[in-house]
Amino acid sequence: MSSPLQSFLPYHIASDLLRHPDESPLDREQRFEAVVLFADVSGFTALSEALGALGNSGTEELTRILNRYFDTMISLIHAYGGIIGKFGGDSMTILFPCLGDEPHEMIAHRAVQCALDMQLKMQVYERIETGVGEHGIRMKSGLAAGPVFCTTVGDPAIRLEYIIAGAALDHCADAEHHAQSGQTVIHRRLSQAASEIIVHPLDENFHLVEGIRSRVPKKPLAHLPAFSPQISETAAKYIHPSIAKRIQREQFGFINEHRKVTTLFARFTRFDENDPKIHHSLQGYLSQVIRVIDRYDGSLNKVDMGDKGSKFIALFGAPIAHEDDAERALRCALELRAIPGPVVGMGISTGFVFSGQVGSDTRREYTVMGDAVNLAARLMQAADEGQILVSRKIYAETSLRFDWGEMRRLHIKGKTRPEQTYPLQGLRTQSKLHLLDMHYTLPMIGRQTELQIAAERIQEAVQGSGQVLGITGSPGMGKTRLAAEVIRKAMEAGMTGLGGECISHGTQSAYLVWKSILSALFSLDAAQSTDEKIRILETKLGEINPLFPNRAPLLAPAIGLPIPDNDLTRNLNPKLRKESLEALIVDCIRVIAAETSLLIVLEDCHWIDPLSADLLALVERSTKNLPVMILEIYRLPSDTPDAVPISHPPGFYEIRLTEFTEDEASLLILSKLARLYGAQSSASEALVERISKQTQGNPFYIDEIINYLYASGLELSDLYTLENFALPGSLHSLILSYIDQLTEGAKTTLKISSVIGRTFKSPWLWGIYPKLGTPERVLKQLDELRKLNIVPVQEPNPEQEYFFRHILTRDVAYENISLETRTRLHEFIGKYIESQYSDQTAQLLDLLAYHYGLSENIKKQRDYFLQAGEAAQQRYDNQVALQYYRRLLDILDEPDQPPVLIKVSDVLQLIGDWNQAEQNAVQAMEIARQNKYDLLEAQGEQRVGAIWRLQGRFDEAKEHLISARQTFERLDDLKGVNECINNLGLIAWNQGNLEQALTLFHKMLHNAQKIDFAQDEYRASGNMGLVYWYQGKYDEALRSMDQARNIAERISDRIGTGRVTGNIGNIYLDLGKYTKAFAAYNAYLHTSAEIGYREGINIASGNLGTVYVEQGEHQNALACFTFNLKIAHEMEDPIGVGMALWYLGETFMRQGQFGRSADVLKKATAIAREVDIPYELSDFLYTNAKRLIRQNDYDAAFRNTQEALKVAKEVDNPATAFKARVLAARLEHLLQRRD
């Protein structure tokens, strides 16, 4: 019996999967001659629309009609040996391959006979009685012969799609267009090849089939065996996951339905199927398409290739629906348009359609049918190159969230009236303001309840209870206005204010929002020179803590200063640099907050970059008992689904703003009019009502529409003109109208400024675009804009810095520039930055990558995406690094991809995404192998081995590591050899082969000494010391550890020095040499504190507590473990929290404080179970059993001991297993004696 999934694939694709069960279908293509039949049906759309009105019963009836029709036709097609290559809703593309020895004339004859027989079968469908009256469907068909190209493209992790292309498909589609209902038309080449076909010429290329002189026997294709589970898994990738699951569960009845679906049709320029590299080109383009569609949870429905252009169809709302499917489709379309390569034109429509499977048990597809689908196709055909046309319904649903071109009326086939269509231009970025610099001329109107809540939070913060307050709402709701009032109240309460803003193009710029906050925190000023800023910063740090100035270089990316590394910071790895930087900032805020209460304002947090979000979360957690209030302003999460999430602490309070009430709106309108027109003026009730209705209670819209009336020179006394004056229909059109009233010079200056960004310096304008005129002329135009309060001055001379008062103004100005001009201007800006800031390129990589990324300069994109990705990787900004590397991969030819794929794999490994890390390493290895890049192949293979080692797949890992080692040795690359040896040594250690591990680490040490690579000398010596310690060979362990420590000190690796010193302390602790252990742990603590290495501080303080316990100094031990617990909580380290609680429980028990011991051990055990750390759980249970014995609760103690013994055996914890076994025997004796 065939797999249910088999019917969703054409015969030739299913056959190919069966022939190559262990290979990816992405690596293959098929080329063959075929006769192609295209059969299209008219009438199904009208039937679908009519039955859809009946709801579920209509869907069921339509499904029965469809199934009856397709079952009949598919059975007939299969009987003639036809392969149904593609469904197009109610149409079918059918292949009759010319394979084997059978004459092509015979195959052509059979294909035409099949088409005629299909027409005969259509007679029963000319009149169909339905629940909505009589309907009918008719067919017409076209045939042609020629070469056919077939392949599979896609992303195996998301979706695969099969491709069928070739001249034969194009010719048969043209033939079908020449046919009337009930007719079959063939291409001239086919009529020449089949003499038994009776034809009547329509023109020089197409002939109408009038009959056949004789009939040929049917010849069905051979039956295919059922798919194996492995092949079924591959086959499922050709279908949407939710549909595949329903099919595999045989839930076919849950697939067909009438539902609201947004359909996107996109045409793209033709790929030449005769090009030998077509598969590579298609894969490169369509895999990007699939990934973009998947990001918006849409579904690629099909791809059609044709001579006059190709297209793909994406569905939003089928089979998975979202409340914002229309918006998702538009956002997706914008990203699709930005993919380099084929020029696209798109059409998007929404409406209720039939969605479900069409076909029969032997061949079917998931599709959609309906008027909205047809409309999307027509819009695609009408769209210009690069244009996205959307229907009126889509526009009505989404108009406020996007920018649009001028409405077009199109005459659509099948429509009696012209269709209103709207060109989608871009996403409308929402309002943002400079909070700390904003002054308002009107008093606060409304929002009194919200302001009272904020005032209460301010008072709690001032009294020492840290607060985190969020203000959110849709654009124009007054977030900024309320925030300004909150800031004013905080200042009145004596708080010191610090503020920063996120920007739309800064989501990949590390710590962007913190730069201004930290500059203010350390009293840095824009007028100071760089050297002066660094001196002031180091002085301030020294005042806070004498150890802090040495860590100043860590602040470089967060404060925007080029501070050179020193011996303390030079060798810190990216992860530790990030942790130490965050700890330094938190410690500084704590000290300053102890002297003065702080208000920290972060504006537009929906554009926050990942590192800023991490730092914000840590500051929030670390200031909960300090006089600090953090105020975050951001759009509604539903408006920004791609925003970086921020982890808020308990007690976070969010104020969500909605539209003004009618009374509040009226009061704002009257107040604004009185300010502009004078207090003695009066506005009519009709005008107030009209403005209120037009703006729907949106405060920003109210403010701007009154500005517009005033700027238009209208008088409140001129009632007739006011009544008939056309108000802009949207906020976007209002701003655009406002811009259009500017002088041409000011207008051009505004547009150039918008390309630079939210803030801009005046010299950049004439430097980037000399055609603006002299500096004096540009400054005059800027002054005009300043007086209109469009671009106020942010920083005074020498370089006047301006900013857009409203981000929407910047966005409208930007989107009103043609794409070609914008692209060119972004490149101009990139070149200007390179020429004017050549000594600061390293600090401006994100900005350069942003501007060149929006240009057409692919070479610069490659350079800066790579450099920005590497810089992000160095600062442990892993998500941003991945974004840059993936953008780089999209523009690299495949042979150039392995080095970048290896970088991607390294980043993914750091963040624990093992599967994706492995996939990228394997891809790098395979491409390198194909191109004979031996070194890159070995590097990829070494990565795969390392990843598998970390996952515990030791035997598989060894195979790759040994192979990679051999290649590195052949290439005399001893660093590569040592990476393999280190991993092999760790595997041997994990598998208990300690002598083999020592041999490998000795070899690694020898290689490192040979090439004078101290870092590997350190690693090898340290690992040898750990193995010796594990063996109980303490003298050898101490010698190796001392050697490792000396190397670390020689290369100024402070963290390495600290870690080895801590391990030396562990050895002394095992030997009972507590004084030496204490000294070692104390040195580790000092080194970690100097660096700001919180994990080291945590470990060292815990170890010091252990020494105190062993020496009976329980109070000192408790102090260490309490500090240990505090650090673990701040680090959000549940394992560390569990360990600290365990230490506290053990110490309380030794003091006889059994109640406190029971409480903390209960919490520790619960954490161990929750985060699944069975090794530690066995220790926690054993300790609890000891406590219970001392409290004479032998039954509970025995249960804890038995579980501790069981868990310890399972996770190979021999020490605890032995102790638990002894304790269990003792308990059995105690229980027997009691009984």
Average pLDDT over residues 1074-1094: 92
Average the pLDDT over 471-490 and give the result: 86
Mapping DSSP to helix (H, G, I), strand (E, B) and coil, where does residue 451 land?
helix
H/E element holding 184?
strand 184-187
Within-domain flag for 464: yes
**Bridge-partner residues for 655, per DSSP?**
471
**Domain co-membership, 57 together with 110:** yes
Q: Give the pLDDT band of residue 433 (cuts 50, 70, 90).
A: very low
Q: Which two tokens stand for residue 968?
A: 């590195």
Which residue has 């295209």 as its token pair?
38
Paired residues of 33 in beta bridges: 147
Enumerate the β-bridge partners of residue 1172: none
pLDDT above 60: residue 432: no
Number of domains within the chain: 5
pLDDT exceeds 60 at position 579: yes
Q: Tell me the pLDDT tens digit for each residue of 239-264.
A: 888 778 767 755 454 466 667 889 99
Tell me if 586 sits within 8 A of 594, measured CB to CB. Answer: no
pLDDT band at 435 (very low <50, low <70, confident <90, very high): very low
Please answer whether residues 794 and 802 qualify as being in contact, where contact means their C-beta atoms are separated by less than 8 angstroms: yes
pLDDT tens digits for range 44-90? 777 776 776 665 567 667 777 878 888 999 999 999 999 999 887 77
Tell me the pLDDT tens digit for each residue of 525-563. Answer: 776 788 889 999 999 999 999 989 999 999 998 998 889
| Measured distance CA(791)–CA(802) in Å, rounded | 6
- pLDDT(20) > 60: yes
**Does residue 710 form part of some domain?**
yes
Answer with the one of 610, 633, 657 that is the final residue of a domain. 657
Judge contact between 231 and 17, C-beta under 8 A: yes
Task: For 947-992, write each residue's pLDDT tens digit.
Answer: 999 888 899 999 999 999 999 999 999 999 999 999 999 999 988 8
User: Which SS3 state, helix, strand or coil, does residue 1010 take?
Assistant: helix
Could you tell me which residue, 173 or 442, shows the higher pLDDT? 173
Q: In the numeric block, which tokens belong to residue 259?
A: 């539902």
808 is in which domain, residue-wise? 742-817
Q: Find out whether 264 and 375 touch, Cβ atoms under 8 Å.
A: no
349 shares its domain with 373: yes
Does 147 sit behind a cis peptide bond, omega within 30 degrees of 0 on the bond before it? no
Using 50, 70 and 90 to split pLDDT, how confident is the model at 600? very high
Confirm whether 80 is domain-assigned.
Answer: yes
CA atoms 49, 50, 56, 57: torsion sign: negative
Other CB atoms within a 10 A radius of the CB of residue 1222 amount to 12
Asked, for residue 692, whether it belongs to a domain, the answer is: yes
| Helix 1114-1130 and helix 1094-1110, axial crossing angle in degrees, nearest 10 | 160
**pLDDT for 430 beyond 50:** no
Q: Are residues 727 and 752 in the same domain?
A: no
Give the whole-angstrom CA distance, residue 542 versus residue 698.
Answer: 49
Determine the pLDDT at residue 343: 67
Average pLDDT, rounded, for the chain: 87
Give yes or no: residues 378 and 263 share one domain: yes
CATH number where 59 lies: 3.30.70.1230
Q: Are 392 and 539 contained in the same domain?
A: no
pLDDT of residue 1091: 86
For residues 176 and 173, give the distance between their C-alpha atoms in angstroms, rounded to a whole number.
Answer: 5
774 shares its domain with 794? yes
Cα–Cα distance measured from residue 401 to residue 815, given in angstroms and rounded to the nearest whole number: 13
Residue 629's φ and ψ, nearest 5 degrees, are -120, 125
Question: In this predicted structure, what is the pLDDT of residue 833?
Answer: 92
Q: What is the distance, to the nearest Å, from the Cα of residue 399 to the centroid of all Cα atoms in its chain?
A: 25
- Residue 1007's pLDDT is 94
Cβ–Cβ under 8 Å, residues 1187 and 1149? yes
**Tens digits of residue pLDDT in 563-572:** 999 988 888 8
Give me the amino acid identity at 1009.
Q
Give the mean model confidence (pLDDT) for residues 669-681. Answer: 78
Q: Does 233 score more than 80 pLDDT?
A: yes
Q: Are residues 681 and 563 in the same domain?
A: no
**pLDDT category, 1105, cuts 50, 70, 90?**
very high
Report the alpha-carbon distance of residue 1021 to residue 1119 in Å, rounded: 34
- Give the chain's end-to-end CA distance (angstroms, integer): 66
Residue 434, pLDDT score: 37
Q: How many Cβ atoms are within 10 Å of 1141's Cβ, its own excluded?
A: 25
Question: Which CATH number is 1161's domain given?
Answer: 1.25.40.10
Let me know if residue 644 belongs to a domain: yes
pLDDT at 108 over 50: yes
pLDDT score, position 307? 54
Q: Give residue-wise pLDDT tens across range 877-921.
A: 899 999 999 999 999 999 999 999 999 999 998 888 889 999 999
Q: How confident is the model at residue 429 (pLDDT cuts 50, 70, 90)?
A: very low
Specify the range with the lowest mean pLDDT, choosing from 285-294, 622-631, 785-794: 785-794
Examine the domain organization and report whether 50 and 107 are in the same domain.
Answer: yes
Same domain, 501 and 562: yes
Residue that terminates a domain, selected from 783, 817, 851: 817
Residue 968 to residue 979: CA distance in whole angstroms: 10
> What is the average pLDDT across 834-839?
88
Distance of CA 1204 to the CA centre of its chain: 42
For residue 508, give every residue at least 6 positions away whose Cβ sits within 8 Å of its Cβ, in sequence order, or none.
Answer: 609, 846, 849, 850, 868, 872, 880, 883, 884
**Stretch 223-234: mean pLDDT, rounded?**
89
Residue 800 belongs to a domain: yes
Give the per-residue pLDDT at 1118. 93
58 is a domain residue: yes
pLDDT of residue 341: 77
Task: Tell whether 348 and 458 lie within a shared domain.
Answer: no
Calculate mean pLDDT across residues 835-851: 88
DSSP letter for each residue of 327-387: HHHHHHHHHHHHSSSS-EEEEEEEEEEEEEEEE-SSSEEEEEESHHHHHHHHHHHHPPTT-
Using one digit for the tens of pLDDT, what is the confidence trace for 348-387?
999 877 777 778 888 888 888 878 888 999 999 899 989 9
Higher pLDDT, 1234 or 102: 102
- Residue 430 gets which letter from DSSP? P
Mean pLDDT throughout 686-695? 81
The tokens of 1178 are what?
Answer: 């066995």
Share of the chain above pLDDT 90, in %: 46
Domain end among 736, 762, 788 = 736
Distance CA 722, CA 673 (A): 13
Between CA 208 and CA 597 the distance in angstroms is: 88
What local confidence, expressed as pLDDT, does residue 56 receive?
54
What average pLDDT does this structure show over 294-313?
83
State the Cα–Cα distance between residues 832 and 71, nearest whole angstrom.
66
Q: Alpha carbon 1197 to chain centroid distance?
A: 50
One-letter amino acid for residue 880 of the chain? V
pLDDT more than 70, % of the chain: 93
pLDDT digits (tens, 9 = 90+) for 717-741: 777 666 766 666 666 666 766 676 6
Residue 257: its pLDDT value, please?
A: 67
Length of the chain: 1235
Structure tokens at 517: 């906050």
Residue 1018 lies in a domain: no
Q: What is the pLDDT of residue 251?
A: 46
CA distance 273 to 278: 6
- Are 652 and 683 within one domain? no
Q: Which of 393-402, 410-419, 676-685, 1116-1125 has the highest average model confidence (pLDDT)?
A: 1116-1125
Per DSSP, the residues of 260-303 read EEEEEEEEEPPP-TTSTTHHHHHHHHHHHHHHHHHHTT-EEEEE
CA nearest 26: which of 136, 215, 156? 156
Split at pLDDT 50, 70, 90, the class of 1226 is confident
- Residue 421: phi and psi, rounded to 5, are -130, 155
- pLDDT value for 167: 85
- Same-domain pairing of 634 and 676: no
